[in-house]
Structure 1
Amino acid sequence: MRVALISESFLPTISGVTTSVCKVLEHLAGAGHEAIVIAPAGAPRHYAGFPVHTVPAIAYRQFPVGLPSPHVQRLLADFRPDVVHAASPFLLGAQGISAANRLDIPSVAIFQTDVAGYAARNRLGQATALAWRYVKWVHEGATRTLVPSSASMRDLERMHVPNLALWTRGVDLVGFHPNRKNSPDVTALRQKIAPNHEVIVGYVGRMAPEKQVERFRALRGISGIRLALVGDGPSEPQIARALEGMPVTWLGRLAGSELSTAYASFDIFVHAGTEETFGQTLQEAHAAGLPVVAPAAGGPLDLVTHGENGYLFIPDDERDLRRCVERLVRDPSVRNRMGEAGRRTVLGRSWPTVCDVLMGHYEDVIDERAAIRSMTAIPLYLQR
């Protein structure tokens, strides 16, 4: 199989989109497929043995945003893929889908970033409706759109976006594992964060407006806790002001074994943002054996079963967020029970398993396009 993967985000930028794209490329390489990557400027020239082609980009909130370029159609025409994979299509991905249609190549679009949610959060009024219309236009062009959660599915169904299917995200079940809690690195980090054996409440993700990390202020005054924040981003100054005087350890952006160590050092994982189309860090926390507190909105609704592997708090209700965290802080037996349940929740979601499902979607759209081509090649009088 030949796959052209067009991504709005790629290395060195770290994001959920980047992680998914890298895992898919690694899976394609391991299975012996051929692939190319088209990504914004600044990306490495190769990944997983595949060439990476870049297009001009502009910077937006510390992210490079790929701009439409005639180079995209030329690359697709030269490579002639069996399928185009558009990861979180916006400008670059929309152009890739259009080019694929002109070249009669089927495409799979991954709905991953809530563009319309951004417009709503920033009170952009009519821009919210315009954003949804743009999302609909982009995804209507794809042969199939894969959505990460039931909430996203409902949103796109309300907009009458056709050809939808559910595709979740994978998680590293080896790197994120409860057994890491006993490692010397974790012991040392816990001593650094909580020298008096406090309960560590952790967060992993970008420090950006949509993540709403400033809502951790609701935990002010809860005795016996320490906050540990992993990540960086444009909202750091605002978050620091909101959490001023609270017991916070800023760990910065982490990856690999350092990230695994951070998760293993937490006792509770909290995500406060209400705009997640999925919630990859929630899966990672569950894989690490942590109870999760998240809003009852978007992707977390599929990942957290209230009272079983964590708590879902009322969106935008910081008092309810505080109540949920306090319950876990006060009862270590509940934390342990929910952490074990969280690990069980993700056991069937390894990246190889999830990528195999994706390969099935590739094959489906390729077969569908082949069937259409064969029908158009048959004289009309024979089709009756």
Structure 2
Amino acid sequence: MRVALVAEQFLPHMNGVTHSVLRVLEHLRARGHDAEVIAPSYGPAGSAPADLDGVPVHRLPALPLTGYPDVRVAGGTVARVRRLLERIGPDVVHAASPFVLGRRAVVAADQLGLPCVAVYQTDVPGYAAKYGAPFLEQLLWSRVRSMHELATLTLAPSTASVRQLAEHGVPDVRLWRRGVDAVRFAPAHRDERWRREVGGGRRLVGYVGRIAPEKQVEDLAAVADLPGTRLVVVGSGPEEEALRRRLPGAHFTGFLGGAQLARVMASLDVFVHPGEFETFCQTVQEAMASGVPVVATGRGGPVDLVDSSRTGWLYPPGDLGALRDRVADLTGDEAKRAAFGAAARAAVRGRTWEALGDELLGHYRDAAALRATGPRPAPPRTA
């Protein structure tokens, strides 16, 4: 099989979209398939490598997103993307978190009669209110719907996302979760020396992710002063300086990756994620693989991941008192925390990228078979 992966974001910017694309590329190569990537540029023409471990990467000119300089919005036209796809000659087009560049790829694939799998990964309409533009939400959903209607299949990472897309009139939505590396993220990486340096004997309550409005990082203030604990914040983003001022007692690590991230994750006592717009929430799964119980909002992706009262706690969205109480429950009870952590790791250790990669190949084959039957009738519009 020959696959064209169109990534809305890609290296050197590392986020959930980039991470999943890299894992897909690894799996395609391991299974003997060919792939090429179309992605935004992150500097002057020619500054980014033209391939990634032998996988060709086609860069399109891009501009930084206002307030998010590491996020690039690709320019170009549908015709330009169509020419690239004609040159690549894929059996299937994989559009990763399509919205700008990915939308052009979905349209181009439709024009060329190519099967296209669109992977829904970012709740852009939901972000609108957090960025002060709630009036844009319905317009953005209209864009999402029209784009995914052209794709052969849409893959969503959680039951909440599947339901959300269906409610907005998106057809042919299937569930495709994310894998986790349970060797890289494991309790064995817990670093007691680092814990003493950062916590001084206190329990460590941690958040890992972008420090941005859509993550509701301001809600971390609800647990910042719990007795006998210290808050650890891992990540970077446009709200970082404001959060540092708001939480002067917290330990900020900045962005971490690789072995450093795995070590810090395993060294936490409780993981907290307050964001309500997560389509999946990979960091929750990585914390669970590290043997760390999770406290997360009961909305979106975490609902599938956290078995409340067994692997962690879900709290009602917006109820910061409940957030604080749930974290206090775990930091104050060592036996419960250990039991929840062991159950969390057991719950996710079988969710390997290998298994999820094979599942994705099945979706590719189904998309090719569906496309071969000809175009489907347009679904009815819903409000």
Matched residue, 1:377: none
SS across alignment from 1:372: coil
List alignment gaps of at least 5 residues for structure 2.
43-47, 376-383
Q: What percent identity do the matched residue pairs reach? A: 47
| Cα contact 2:93–2:114 (8 A) shared by 1 | yes
- Deviation per CA, 1:50-103, whole angstroms, max 9, x where unpaired? 100011111111211112334311110111100000000001000001111111
Larger radius of gyration: 1
Superposition deviation, residue 37 in structure 1: 0.2
Matched residue, 2:76: 68
1:89 to 87, 98, 115: 98
Matched residue, 1:328: 330
- 2:193 pairs with 1:200: no
Alpha-carbon separation, structure 1, partners of 2:139 and 2:297: 26
1:344 to 327, 346, 350: 346
Return the letter of the residue paired with 1:299: G
| Cα contact 1:67–1:92 (8 A) shared by 2 | yes
Alpha-carbon separation, structure 2, partners of 1:102 and 1:132: 23
Alpha-carbon separation, structure 2, partners of 1:44 and 1:236: 30
Alpha-carbon separation, structure 2, partners of 1:187 and 1:164: 45
| Cα contact 2:186–2:266 (8 A) shared by 1 | yes
Matched residue count: 366
Alpha-carbon separation, structure 1, partners of 2:283 and 2:90: 32
Alpha-carbon separation, structure 1, partners of 2:40 and 2:225: 44
Superposition deviation, residue 122 in structure 1: 3.5
Return the letter of the residue paired with 1:243: L
- Deviation per CA, 1:323-352, whole angstroms, max 9, x where unpaired? 110001110111111101111111221111
| Cα contact 1:118–1:210 (8 A) shared by 2 | yes
Matched residue, 2:242: 238
Superposition deviation, residue 49 in structure 1: 1.7
- 2:195 pairs with 1:190: yes
| Cα contact 1:26–1:48 (8 A) shared by 2 | no
- 2:120 pairs with 1:111: yes
| Cα contact 1:27–1:352 (8 A) shared by 2 | yes
Superposition deviation, residue 241 in structure 1: 2.2
Alpha-carbon separation, structure 1, partners of 2:270 and 2:4: 39
User: Are the structure 2 counterparts of residues 272 and 29 from structure 1 closer, same or farther at C-alpha, using a change threshold of 3 Å?
Assistant: same
Superposition deviation, residue 121 in structure 1: 2.8
Alpha-carbon separation, structure 2, partners of 1:226 and 1:124: 34
List alignment gaps of at least 5 residues for structure 1.
374-384
| Cα contact 1:295–1:312 (8 A) shared by 2 | yes
Superposition deviation, residue 166 in structure 1: 0.2
Matched residue, 1:382: none
Matched residue, 1:292: 294
- Deviation per CA, 1:292-325, whole angstroms, max 9, x where unpaired? 0000000011011110100011111111110110
Matched residue, 2:266: 264
- Calculate the TM-score normalised by the size of structure 1: 0.93
- 2:225 pairs with 1:216: no
- Deviation per CA, 1:10-36, whole angstroms, max 9, x where unpaired? 011110000000000011111111111
- Deviation per CA, 1:206-230, whole angstroms, max 9, x where unpaired? 1111111221111243111011111
SS across alignment from 1:27: helix
